[in-house]
């Protein structure tokens, strides 16, 4: 298990592979972002996208699928996130693209009020198959601290 104390500023990782599927792009758009350029090749052709483009929110969801798989594989003691900063959709994501993730820990901070957790700020970049950044943001991750050994009240020694 990776706990808060295991994260260091400057640590980087590359992970994930997500194939962007046309039907998934259309389904997401119909349900959550029904703008014409996410729903129709013809409508998208009339915009700066030039063709059907995934919703930025769908791009975030695809990134989250890769991140959750990575955190599970790495057994991160995740407690969720406090939010994100600096979200930018850099370039359109299109059906047929293959997305990957890069992350860098830019700050760690132990919680003063909740010693069972700390925060790690992580700069995330999602790239397409050409290495072009399509999505960037800074995540504020909440991570459990390493459990402390239990002590017995009468002796103050380790319980086991």
- The neighbour count for residue 20, using CB atoms within 10 Å, is 21
Output the six-digit token pair for 150: 């239990």
> β-pairing, 133-144 with 98-110?
unpaired
| 123 vs 104: CA distance, rounded Å | 5
Average pLDDT per consecutive 10 residues, the chain (160 residues; last block may be shorter): 95 97 98 96 95 97 95 91 96 98 97 93 98 98 87 54
The pLDDT value given to residue 158: 53
Q: Quick one: pLDDT at residue 160? A: 46
What pTM, to 2 d.p., does this model score? 0.86
Judge contact between 70 and 15, C-beta under 8 A: yes
């Amino acid at each position: 298990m990776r706990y808060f104390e295991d994260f260091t500023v400057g640590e980087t990782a590359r992970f994930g592979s997500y194939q962007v599927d046309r039907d998934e792009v259309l389904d997401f758009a119909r349900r959550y972002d029904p703008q014409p350029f996410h729903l129709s090749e013809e409508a998208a052709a009339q915009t700066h996208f030039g063709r059907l483009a995934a919703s930025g929110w769908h791009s975030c969801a695809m990134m989250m699928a890769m991140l959750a798989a990575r955190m599970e594989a790495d057994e991160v003691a995740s407690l969720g996130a406090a939010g994100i900063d600096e979200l930018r959709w850099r370039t359109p994501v299109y059906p047929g693209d293959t997305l990957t993730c890069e992350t860098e820990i830019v700050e760690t901070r132990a919680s003063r009020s909740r010693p069972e957790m700390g925060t790690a700020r992580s700069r995330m970049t999602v790239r397409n198959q050409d290495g072009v950044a399509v999505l960037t943001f800074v995540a504020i991750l909440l991570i459990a601290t390493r459990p402390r050994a239990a002590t017995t009240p009468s002796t103050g020694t380790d319980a086991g």
